[in-house]
Amino acid sequence: MISYDLIDFNDTSKADAMRDIDETRIPVLVGCGQFTQRERDPARAEGPLDLMARVARLAAADSGAGQKLIEALDSLVVVRMFSDTSHRFASPFGTYSNPPRSLAQRIGASGLKRFIYTHPGGNMPQWTVNRLCEQITQGEVSAAMVVGAEALATQKAAERAGVKLDWNEDPGGSMQTWGVDKRGWSDCEDRHGARAAIYMYPMLENALRHHAGRSFDEHQQVIGSLMAKFAAVAAANPLADRRDGFSAERLTGVAADNPYISFPYTRLMNSNAFIDQGAAVIVCSMAVAKSLGVPPDRWVFLHGCADAHDHWYMSERRDYHSCPAMKTVFDKTFEMAGLRFDQIDQIDLYSCFSSAVEIACQEMGISPDDPRGLTVTGGLPFFGGPGNNYVTHSIAEMMNRVRAKPGSFGLVTANGNYVTKHSAGIYSTERPQKPFAPENPEIYQKQIDSMPKTPFTELAQGSGVVETFTVTHDRSGPSGAILFGRLPDGTRFMANTPNDRALLEDIEQREFIGVTGTVSNDGLTNRFLPG
């Protein structure tokens, strides 16, 4: 056995010893598949499980091993569907009681020992690949698939057309669950209506604008230009849902077909969840890849990875323009890979909303105008935001990109909840010169957890100042406001304003961060009235 601690990887003779490592313990990604469904007739369209089966077969075919690889799988991980994640996306057409087992039956995965369904989070595809690679090095896994799909466009079309679909399936058996079983918002945030990304990310955006010292118009130009670059990539991607190549002005301009969802984000600035998309990736040991005849030009290695989460609830964060956990994940990922950012050739930053991209650029120390571009897919607002599964698409596309340029390196980042849960991976066809051995995330998670939390009170009374905010909209226009504020002693509170149309319109037209006023409570929620 090789003592890895004693290997100097700058010493070529010792690095050559890596070639003697047991190939059953070397993880490699060997197959990927993606599909975007555009069937307009919901009665003819494939449902989520059928889309998963389609991309699973595409991933197996991509490896060159086909059905033999599917039959060699010992682990199947299905990324949690949005219908099982949020009441907003619950399916009226039934439920799948055990998605991994149902999928296994569809694709003939007869050798499975583990059936796994993840907990929610946009970080989960990368998190899962990180874990599977680690388990391969430990001899616990030999071949595994990560797969997910959404059919929310079909679901919505069927509801509108009055078409009844049968998405009930119960194959029996048990399944494991991976991830963190904890919702992303607190009871207090829930009572104030802040329980969805469409409300939380706009508050981050307003805080970023204020921190940068920009006016509203200046900042809209900045984020419009940022996301227009994503839209341009989507325009060239045949798998993307929105391929119009939107200009910055079109993205941020309020129009009948592009209203505010929650200020300052218009419809086109939001992650696009109502799409039909699926993606799958397959990871196995090098020994399995060789035994099944997977050509080496299909092999992609994970060189660096890390996972962590920030203080869980938004009300606990130190501020709304930075993310210590994200920076830690980036630092640990590059440290493991032994690379600098200037050695990365292609990038896919998680892009549910522009604020997530801005914070990632800030914590990585890169320009939003980086000439390499920040996405390989087109991003969640334009490529598509298929629930928790987007990053499976970005990993699959990154596999294609690094294969097309052997020896290049690609970075994928992932984000769950509200810039809360973070994951990253660096991919290349280049075989690593050291064993796959990520630092135990529990070590650096303890350091993040030890960072001070902002003092918070659920019920506030007296004078206060606005820290950040958003104005929510419905079909008729402004419908409410959600804000975080500070009391004179620095304690943070959360509140709503009165739902007065004139007040809500005024909030959108002036600098509301820093406004003072009076906060009161009814024993459950706080109400803020500007002074």
The Cα 366–Cα 413 span in angstroms is 14
User: For residues 310 and 200, is the Cβ–Cβ distance under 8 A?
Assistant: no
pLDDT at 21: 79
> What does the pLDDT look like over 261-302, one tens digit per residue?
999 999 999 999 999 999 999 999 999 999 999 999 999 999
- Report pLDDT digits (tens) over 179-232: 999 999 999 999 999 999 999 999 999 999 999 999 999 999 999 999 999 999
Q: So where are the chain's domains?
A: 4-184+273-449, 462-530
Measured distance CA(330)–CA(336) in Å, rounded: 10
Are 280 and 147 contacting, i.e. CB atoms less than 8 angstroms apart? yes
Cα dihedral: 258, 351, 367, 406 (round 10): -130
**Is the per-residue pLDDT at 143 higher than 60?**
yes
Q: In the chain, count of helices (H) and strands (E)?
A: 16, 17
d(CA 68, CA 109): 9
User: Averaged over 411-433, what is the pLDDT?
Assistant: 97
Each residue's pLDDT tens digit, 464-511: 999 999 999 999 999 999 999 999 999 999 999 999 999 999 999 999
pLDDT value at residue 14: 39
pTM confidence score:
0.95
For 182, half-sphere exposure in the C-beta direction (CA atoms, 13 angstrom radius) is 11
CATH 2.40.50.840 correct for 462-530: yes
Confidence of residue 2 (pLDDT cuts 50, 70, 90): very low
Residues β-bridged to residue 150 = 277
The whole-angstrom separation of Cα 82 and Cα 80 is 7
- Percent of the chain at pLDDT > 70 equals 96
Contacts of 227 (CB under 8 A, 6+ apart): 246, 248, 251, 269, 351, 354, 357, 379, 381
Q: Please, which pLDDT band fits residue 89 given cuts at 50, 70 and 90?
A: very high
**Res 448 pLDDT > 60:** yes
Residue 226 CB partners (closer than 8 Å, separation 6+): 354, 357, 358, 368
pLDDT digits (tens, 9 = 90+) for 372-387: 999 999 999 999 999 9
pLDDT of 152: 98
Position 9 pLDDT exceeds 90: no
DSSP string, 508-527: HHS--TT-EEEEEE-SS-EE
- Inform me whether the pLDDT recorded for 7 exceeds 60: no
Largest CA distance in the chain: 74
Q: What is the CATH number of domain 4-184+273-449?
A: 3.40.47.10
CB-based contacts of 307, cutoff 8 Å, min separation 6:
123, 126, 127, 130, 329, 421, 422, 423, 441
